[in-house]
Structure 1
Amino acid sequence: MILITGGSGFIGSNIIEAFNKEGICDILVADQLDSTNKWKNIANKNIADYIDKDSLFKKIKEENIQVVIHMGACTNTMESDAKQMLKDNYDFSKNLWKYCAEKKIKFIYASSASIYGDGSFGFTENINLNKVTPLNPYAYSKLLFDRWIAKQKTTPPYWAGLRFFNVYGPGESHKGPMASMAFHAYHQIQQEGKVRLFKSNRINYQHGEQQRDFIYVKDIANIVLFFYHKASFPSGIYNVGSGQTHTFNELIQAIFSAYPAPIQMEYIDMPEGLEDKYQYYTKADMNKLKTIGYSRKFTDLKQGISEYVHYLRSLK
C-alpha cells in the first residue's frame, strides 16, 4: 500500500494519476476535504481508500504501508498564523517521519524552494540551512522541518525531500489566490482580455522580467515515481525544478499564444507588505537529481502551457 498525504490536492492528485497510468491503485489517500472543489481531483482516480488527515495515525496501524509520499501541507504563503502553520506542516511531518523510521518505510516528502528566501545563498541543496532567512511562515515551516531532519540519527531506510520550485498545471483551481500565475493569467484573459503583472521595484529588473523556474506538475509526478521505483538512492534533499528560468513576460506570452489572443499586459503596483516576501529570481540546480540517474527531459514551458490552457478550456 502507498500512503499519499494531500492526495486530493494539486500535486498529490497528479501523482495518483501517474500511478494509475502504471496500473498502480493500492493507494491510501489522507487529506482534509473542505468547501473547495478539490474533491474533484480524486473523483476520477482509482484509490484503495480515503481517510481524514486527523484520523491518519489511528488508522495506518491497520494498514501495510510500504511507501509514504507526504504532499499534504498548508501552502498559503500569505498565511500569518504561524502557530497553525507549524502544526500542519512541521508537527504532522515529524510524526510521519518517526512512523516511517520505526516501520522502515521509504519516505518521500514535499519540501519547498521557498526555504531559499531571497536566493542570496543560491539554489543548491547543500546550502547552510542555518543561514537562510525564510520570507513567510510557510517557508519557515518547511525550513524548520528540513533543519530538524538534518539532526536525526534514526531515519527511514530511504528518504527524499523534494524542493519544489514554481509548479503549474491541472488540478490547482481549489487553491484560489495560491494557484499559479499561469492559472490566474488564463482567467484574466478570459474575463478581461489582458493580464496584470506586478511592477518591479528593483532597478536591475524591468517590469515583468522577474524570473522563475516554472515546472509542469506532470514532471513533478514523474520524479516522484522515479523515487518510488528506485530500489536505493542516497537519502537527502533534492531540488525539483526545470533547471531553467523564464520571465513572467515570457510566461504570459506563452499563455496568450496558446489561448490564442492578442497580447495585452498591464503592470500594477505590488501590494503593500508583499515586497519583502517576494522572490525576484529562482532557478533550481538540478545536478544532484541527475547524478542519481534521473534523465527524463522536462516539459518545455511553451508545451506545458499549451497543454495546460487546453485543459483549462475543456473545463465547464
Structure 2
Amino acid sequence: MYVITGGAGFLGSALLWQLNGQGLDDIVVVDDLGSSPKWRNLVKRRYADYLHRDAFLDLVRRDALPWKLDGLIHLGACSSTTETNADFLMENNFHYSRDVCRYALDKGARVINASSAATYGDGSLGFSDDPALVPRLRPLNMYGYSKQLLDLWLQRERLEDAVASLKFFNVYGPNEYHKGDMASVVFKTHGRIRESGRMALFRSEDPAVPDGEQKRDFVYVKDCVRLLAWLLEHPHVNGIRNAGTGEARSFNDLVRAVFVALGREPVIDYVDMPVTLRGRYQAYTRADMGWLARAGCPLRFTPLEAGVEDYVRGHLERDDRFL
C-alpha cells in the first residue's frame, strides 16, 4: 500500500493520475479537504481509502496503521510562500514531515519527500544539489525555511541515502485550480487574458534586469509526477535532489507562451512589486539536474512552450479541466 500525503492537492492528485495510469490503485490519500474545492481532483481517480491528515498522524504515532506501508510519498504541507505563522509552519511542514518520514523508514517503506527550491534563498550560492551546500542555504521566507529544516534533519540523522527529498522548482499544470494566490503564473495569466486581454508582471528590482526578465525554472507537473513514479520504482536512488528542467526562462517568455497558446498577441503591463515581497523574491532559479543522468533516469522534461500549450489548450480551455 502506498500513502500519498497531500494526495488531493496539486502535485499529489497529479501523482495519483500517473499511478492510476500505470494500473496502481492500492493507494491511501491523506489530506485535509475541509471546505476546499480540491476534492474535485479526486473525482476521476482510483484509490483504496482517504484519511484526514490528523487521523493519519495519530495512527502513525500509535503504530496502528491497518495495512503494510510499502511507500510514503510525502507531498502534504502548507505551500504558501507568504504564510507568516511560523509556529504553524514548524508544526505542519517540519514536525509532521519528520514524524511520518521516520515512521515509514522504520517500517522499511520507500520514502519520497517534497522539499522546495525556496530553500535556495536568493540563489547567491547557486542551485547545486551538493550535500555540502545544504547547511549553508538561507531561505528568504518561513515556508522555505520549514522545508530546509526537514532536509537538515535528513542530513543530521544520516538519512540522505534512504530518502529521495526533491526540491521542486516552479511547477505549473492541471489540478492547481484550488490554490488561489499560490497558483502558477500560467494559470493566472490564462484567467486574466480571458478577463481583460492583458497580463501584469512585476517590475524588476535589479536595474541590470529588464522588467519581466526575472527568470525561473518552470517545470510541468506531468514531468514531476513521471519523475516521482520513476523514483518509486528505483528505491536505491536517493538524496536531496533538484526537480526542475535545468533551464531558466523569463516570466516574459512564460506569459508570451500563454498568449500564443490562445492565439493572441501579447499585451504585458509591468507593476511595482508588493512591499511584502520585496527582498524575499527569487529573481533567478535554475535547477542543476545532473543527478538524473548519473542515476540513469531517461526522463526528458517538456520544453516551456510545449508544456504551456498542452496545459492551456488541453486543460484550461476545456470544460473538464481536471486530470
- For normalisation by structure 1, the TM-score amounts to 0.96
Equivalent position SS for 1:263: coil
- Identify the residue that residue 149 of structure 2 maps to in structure 1: 144
Question: Is the deviation greater in 235-244 or in 60-69?
Answer: 60-69
Matches of 2:235 and 2:250 in 1, distance apart?
A: 38
Deviation at 1:232, TM superposition (A): 2.3
Aligned partner letter, 2:152: R
Flag structure 1 segments of 5+ consecutive residues without an equivalent: none
- Identify the residue that residue 75 of structure 1 maps to in structure 2: 79
- Identify the residue that residue 129 of structure 2 maps to in structure 1: 125
Equivalent position SS for 2:134: coil
Match status 1:161 vs 2:165? yes
Alignment of 1:278-297 (within 5 A): 278-297=281-300
Matches of 1:3 and 1:239 in 2, distance apart?
A: 22
- Identify the residue that residue 232 of structure 2 maps to in structure 1: 228
Deviation at 1:44, TM superposition (A): 0.9
Alignment of 1:203-218 (within 5 A): 203-218=207-222
- Pick one of 298, 304, 309 that aligns with 2:312: 309
- Identify the residue that residue 115 of structure 2 maps to in structure 1: 111
- Identify the residue that residue 96 of structure 1 maps to in structure 2: 100
Equivalent position SS for 1:171: coil
Q: Runs (4+) of structure 1 moved beyond 4 Å?
A: none
Alignment of 1:3-42 (within 5 A): 3-42=3-42
Matches of 1:217 and 1:69 in 2, distance apart?
A: 15
Deviation at 1:187, TM superposition (A): 0.5
Aligned partner letter, 2:7: G
Deviation at 1:40, TM superposition (A): 0.4
Flag structure 2 segments of 5+ consecutive residues without an equivalent: none
Deviation at 1:156, TM superposition (A): 9.1
- Identify the residue that residue 270 of structure 1 maps to in structure 2: 273
Equivalent position SS for 2:179: helix
CA offsets per residue over residues 246-296 of structure 1, 9 Å max, x none?
101010110000012121010001011311110110000000122101122
Matches of 2:41 and 2:35 in 1, distance apart?
A: 13
- Pick one of 143, 162, 172 that aligns with 2:176: 172
Equivalent position SS for 1:29: strand
The answer to whether the 8 Å contact 1:238/1:289 transfers is no
Aligned partner letter, 1:287: G
Deviation at 1:59, TM superposition (A): 3.8
Matches of 2:82 and 2:277 in 1, distance apart?
A: 9
* Aligned-residue RMSD, C-alpha: 1.3
Equivalent position SS for 1:302: helix
- Identify the residue that residue 46 of structure 2 maps to in structure 1: 46
- For normalisation by structure 2, the TM-score amounts to 0.94
Aligned partner letter, 1:137: M
Equivalent position SS for 2:200: strand
